[in-house]
A and B are shown apart, each in its own frame.
Chain A
Amino acid sequence: MRAFEYVVADSSAAARALAREVGAARFYAGGTTLVDLMKADVERPQRVVDISRLPLTAIERRGDVVRIGALARNSDVAYDATVAQAFPAVSEALLSGASGQIRNSATIGGNLLQRTRCTYFRETRWRCNKREPGSGCDALDGFNRGHAILGTSDACIATFPGDLPVALAALSAHVVIEGDAGERTIALEDLYLLPGDEPQHETSLAPGELITAIELRVEPLHARSHYLKVRDRASYEFALASVACAVELDGGRIAQARIALGGVATVPWRAVDAEAALAGAPPDDSAFRHAADVALSGARTRAHNGYKVELAKRAIVRALRTVCGGAA
């Protein structure tokens, strides 16, 4: 690890100010993405601002909104009774991620901002437009079995690796951000940027802005939700394809549905057209399969990731079966 300056922030305002003072500053929340990438020499901060003890850890319900502090640990959120009951997909997604040890350190804010696991990004000997803008992308014609098939560009096909943000996308979560002008709240999907020509820009956060919380709405749709993750190992492994879904049934029909995909896209991928295809349909396999076809209709595959199209479709069908199962 290169040398850097270490400084502890005692408030969110101090954290932002400390981060803004130098060009290359990074917040340290749980450290599990940051330290890993600093060891890889991919992250090279001049200054590390320790925010790990800021009092932003509460999980609070106010009316129909549950607000989860950005520094709440993944394990604490996953096992929180309100979260598990009102947002099963969120709890399941968290528990499917990483390991018990990592979940104890990892924070909600850090989880949203974890970086891709693209090998060509993580090892500095390769060309990577995300790590070194304009240098090229060795994944395009390299070994791209794990890479994305949705939301890609000619500059970058890196998969967004996270689980939680996929569940949050399906449940229309919001992200609370603190900046110089005060607090702003954006839809989770507006946090993430498609790679386009500039894959180095991954989020809509301005330099020094701090995520302080996420917000989720308690409603029947979100209580009937599920997260399904398909991967090479049974546990402690990133998704090859994952599905977060939520369904509200009404008189034997699907009143409304939400679907988001992970492991196959460059950002947490909300499948809006598939959701529309399900509205009003009966909760059966032919409707599920049709929705899956719609969700993957824009897929663009490379040499080694073509299998992800069918894998994701089957995962969508299975997740919808699970969430509609035992329907009254």
Chain B
Amino acid sequence: MRTTERPAVPPRSSAPLTLRLNGRDATFVVEPNVTLLDLLRERAGLTGTKKGCDRGQCGACTVLVNGRRTLSCLALALVHAGDEITTIEGLANGGELHAVQAAFVEHDAFQCGFCTSGQILSAVAVIAEGRAHSDAEISEAMSGNLCRCGAYPNIVAAIAAVQGAG
């Protein structure tokens, strides 16, 4: 929980912001009108999180906030003080891919790859939410992640495989 005495941040000025980023404390100095997505990409250098529409309509910017999947383009960075953020860069365990990452490779669940980090973060959360028990359930749960290349069948297959193995 944040302190109650956090001072107001005037327009065009910045305030320090500390959050847990992929398991480490990270501190930035941020203006009020910086989104979580721009913080990750431009200030933290974590460009794995993609900017597709920047308006909540594609899912490319999906990250986990305290374990819950969220659109980083529709969130102000300062709102997330103290939160635990997981991006695609934080998913693998050292050199070992996360099961969902490995399944995406195995099932060829992408073409251009632009939507892929968002798809994978979303998939990790969908499995954790327990909403991946049938192809139809996976498609519905994953509807917030668009894929312009139309890799949907393979994305569903990759998620179903992880669910089945889990």
Interface residues of A (CB under 8 A from B): 1-8, 10, 28, 31-32, 35-36, 38-40, 46-48, 50, 52-53, 75, 98-102, 104-105, 234-236
Q: If A3-B12, A5-B11, A6-B8 touch, does A32 touch B79 (CB 8 Å cutoff)?
A: no
The answer to whether A31 and B33 have CB atoms under 8 Å apart is no
Contact B143 A101 (CB under 8 A): no
Residues of B within 8 A of A2 (CB): 33
Neighbour of A3 across the interface among B1, B32, B78, B139, CB < 8 A: B32
Known: A10-B4, A48-B76, A53-B2. A101 touches B70 (CB 8 A): yes
A46 CA to B122 CA, complexed, in Å: 34
- With A3-B11, A5-B9 known as contacts, the answer to whether A100 contacts B76 (CB < 8 A) is no
**B76 engages A36 (CB within 8 Å):** no
* B69 x A6 contact (CB < 8 A): no
12 A-B residue pairs with Cβ-Cβ distance under 8 Å, sorted by A, are A3-B12, A3-B32, A6-B76, A8-B2, A35-B75, A36-B74, A99-B143, A100-B126, A100-B131, A101-B70, A101-B144, A102-B74
Are A236 and B122 in contact (CB-based, < 8 A)? no
Tell which of B6, B33, B74, B75 has the most Cβ of chain A within 10 Å: B74
Q: Are B79 and A31 in contact (CB under 8 A)?
A: yes
Binds A, one of B21-29, B54-62, B88-96: B54-62
Task: List, in ascending order, chain B residues with CB within 8 A of A47's CB.
Answer: 8
A104 touches B11 (CB 8 A): no
Determine the chain A residues whose CB is within 8 A of the CB of B65 once the complex forms: 104
Contact B56 A102 (CB under 8 A): yes
Asked if A32 and B11 sit within 8 Å, CB to CB, the answer is no
Given contacts A31-B76, A35-B76, A104-B69, contact A236 B9 (CB under 8 A): no
A6-B9, A104-B70, A236-B143 given as contacts; is B33 within 8 A of A32 (CB)?
no
A105 B74 Cβ-Cβ under 8 A: yes
A28 CA / B33 CA spacing, docked (Å): 13
CB < 8 Å neighbour of B54 from A4, A39, A104 = A39
Q: How far is the CB of B111 from chain A (nearest CB, A)?
A: 21
The 7 A-B residue pairs whose C-beta atoms are closest, nearest first, are A99-B144, A235-B143, A6-B32, A3-B11, A10-B4, A7-B8, A1-B33
Task: Please tell me if the beta carbons of B56 and A32 are within 8 angstroms of each other in the complex.
Answer: yes
Q: Which residue of A lies closest to B69 (CB)?
A: A101
